[in-house]
Amino acid sequence: MSAQTVTGPVPASELGFTLPHEHLLFGYPGYQGDLTLGPFDREAALNACEDVARSLLARGVRTLVDATPNECGRDPAFLRDLSERSGLRILCSSGYYYEGEGAATYFKFRASLGGGEAEIEELMRHEVTAGIGTSGVRAGVIKLASSRDAITPYEQMFFRAAARVQRDTGVPIITHTQEGRQGPQQAQLLLSHGADPARIMIGHMDGNTDPAYHRETLAHGVSVAFDRLGLQGLVGTPTDAQRLDVLTTLLGEGFADRILLSHDSIWQWLGRPIPMPDAILGAVKDWHPLHLTDDILPELERRGVGAEQLRQMTVGNPARLFG
């Protein structure tokens, strides 16, 4: 089996240490209208991202999944250029963000006229099998997202469409859950429409500190991601210490073969620079793509997690899921 990266297929055995949920470029929908005062300097962004990529490579990271949705600044050509310049392997996503923070109007309007879900499926299928626009880059994963208190009817269109595309193509599915909710519901919805649990990663599970929630999600056979490491006290996130308490509990129960680790970090914001009050700066000081290798893995070792389990979560599980 092979993973579809932005530079072509790569054997699963060659993916190595993989970060399964990061964002090299990201802008909330609306940034496109603010480019007069927040223009995008592509070369400067490439240089900045290349520095981060080389820092990751120096720490043993070989691959990452860029989880940026279509409407939030996804740029497959940028990802390909960065991969070619740095040597870091990158998988690009196909999908849309959750209703509250994505660009929902477009497909909601089309759905009201009789389109919508079939068109979403057509888009995902094309981007996975033929490529994204004229970039020549094929999507290596489908990205889905849901709201905090429910998977809305709008979001359900994407989940059903993704399940059908995955059923036919085998493409992996990764998800966004909001504030540690809807993990079991996401898994159940995807499986009810024919998706393969072995090819699903339910994301942002570390937003919930109740081990029972994780067990309920894992009972569906899917993998789960502790993938907001370093983001503490914002958008409903717990502390890293609380996350690791849950993680070590699950590892002790034998779930090492279905857990992945990442940050959900944003390397370059699109639009104007983000205002950062002191309170927010404190909450995000560890939210960067080197946090796992520099801080979290050593802390897990101090907590008694062995090298085999660490390698399983960072190398073995990504190879199985994305390859």
Mean pLDDT of 140-156: 99
Q: What is the DSSP letter of 165?
A: H
What is the domain partition of the chain in residue ranges? 2-322
Q: What percent of the chain has pLDDT over 70?
A: 100
pLDDT of residue 278: 87
Domain 2-322 has what CATH class? alpha beta
b/e map of 32-66 (b: 16 or more CB within 10 Å)? Answer: eeeeeeeebeeeebbeebbebbeebeeeebbbbbb
Residue 282 clears pLDDT 90, i.e. is over it: no
Find out whether 143 is annotated in a ligand binding site.
Answer: yes
190 vs 9: CA distance, rounded Å: 25
Residue 157 clears pLDDT 90, i.e. is over it: yes
Residue 284 clears pLDDT 90, i.e. is over it: yes
Computed over every residue of the chain, the mean pLDDT equals 98
Helix, coil or strand: residue 88: coil
Find out whether 264 is annotated in a ligand binding site.
Answer: yes
Find out whether 285 is annotated in a ligand binding site.
Answer: no
pLDDT of residue 231: 97
pLDDT of residue 244: 99
Task: Note the pTM of the prediction, 2 decimals.
Answer: 0.97
Residue 222 clears pLDDT 90, i.e. is over it: yes
pLDDT of residue 4: 99
Residue 290 clears pLDDT 90, i.e. is over it: yes
Q: How confident is the model at residue 259 (pLDDT cuts 50, 70, 90)?
A: very high
Backbone angles phi, psi at 140, to 5 degrees: -95, -15
pLDDT of residue 279: 84
4 close to 91: Cβ distance less than 8 angstroms? yes
pLDDT of residue 234: 86
Residue 235 clears pLDDT 90, i.e. is over it: no
Find out whether 126 is annotated in a ligand binding site.
Answer: no
pLDDT of residue 274: 92
Residue 188 clears pLDDT 90, i.e. is over it: yes
Find out whether 23 is annotated in a ligand binding site.
Answer: yes
Amino acid letter, residue 166: Q
Find out whether 176 is annotated in a ligand binding site.
Answer: yes
